[in-house]
Amino acid sequence: MVKMLSTFAALVLLVTCQCSAQAASPAPAGGGSTPAAAPPSNASQEYLEAHNQARAEVGVGPLQWSPSLAKSASLTARLQRDKHNCSFANLANSKYGGNQLWAGGFAMTPRAAVETWVAEKKFYTYENNSCAPDHRCGVYTQVVWKKSAELGCAAAACPKDQSSLTICFYNPPGNVVGEKPY
Ligand SMILES: *[C@@H]1O[C@H](CO)[C@@H](O)[C@H](O)[C@H]1NC(C)=O
Ligand SMILES: *[C@@H]1O[C@H](CO)[C@@H](O)[C@H](O)[C@H]1NC(C)=O
Ligand SMILES: *[C@@H]1O[C@H](CO)[C@@H](O)[C@H](O)[C@H]1NC(C)=O
């Protein structure tokens, strides 16, 4: 599907989300204080800022960066790269919310990845909590999901066509059926 476009459209973006969490599982109970985490790296900072900007635009508080979610995202992205040809991970049984982006034909940056999800905002109607046909508002509603508190993201560069797979995890997961994002 990607290949036949490549003559005319060098840029290809595909998005998906874990869009049907049935119920938010309770956040892991306190568990004491985690040891002081290393300051988020440059890329982490970009993922976080792009999320928190979209959240602020609709009056939702910021996410915190989670090194352990970022590690899970990194392991998942690398597994998809190494074993599954950089296809989307199946996150249906994940305890986290997940957004994914496959981009081909150019180098994806953390900010541009998040902005691709946020671009679905224009297809989302808050009043009736619905999405225009053929769009994936779930990637947007996960970004701004108020009850999600923690974020961790990573990307894997894929061998073919300067492509990449970006994955973000959210805890607690968003897109709970029947709830509005905020
Ligand atoms: C790191 O930060 C600089 C300055 O903000 C920015 O120009 C650059 O693109 C960032 N690099 C990555 C990999 O995010
Ligand atoms: C892997 O993905 C690329 C790009 O989508 C495709 O051209 C290639 O045929 C795939 N390889 C396998 C083994 O599925
Ligand atoms: C939700 O509202 C929008 C804007 O008024 C409308 O276009 C859309 O059809 C509605 N969707 C549903 C499922 O009611």
CATH of the domain at 115: 3.40.33.10
Q: What is the pLDDT of residue 10?
A: 54
Residue type, 84: H
Query: Averaged over 107-130, what is the pLDDT?
Result: 96
Indicate if ligand 2 lies below 6 Å from the C-beta of 6.
no
24 in any annotated domain: no
Query: How many domains, in total, are found in the chain?
Result: 1
Give the Cα separation of 18 and 143 in Å (integer): 12
Give the Cα separation of 20 and 57 in Å (integer): 24
Q: Which residue in the block uniquely carries the two structure tokens 């990307």?
A: 155
pTM here is 0.81
User: 42, 115, 164: which to mutate for ligand 1, most atoms within 8 A of CB?
Assistant: 42
Indicate if ligand 3 lies below 6 Å from the C-beta of 125.
yes
56 in any annotated domain: yes
120 in any annotated domain: yes
Task: Tell me how far the alpha carbon of residue 102 lies from the centroid of ligand 2, in angstroms.
Answer: 13
124 in any annotated domain: yes
pLDDT exceeds 80 at position 21: no
The answer to whether the CB of 101 falls within 8 A of the CB of 108 is yes
Domain extent, residue 113, equals 42-88+95-171
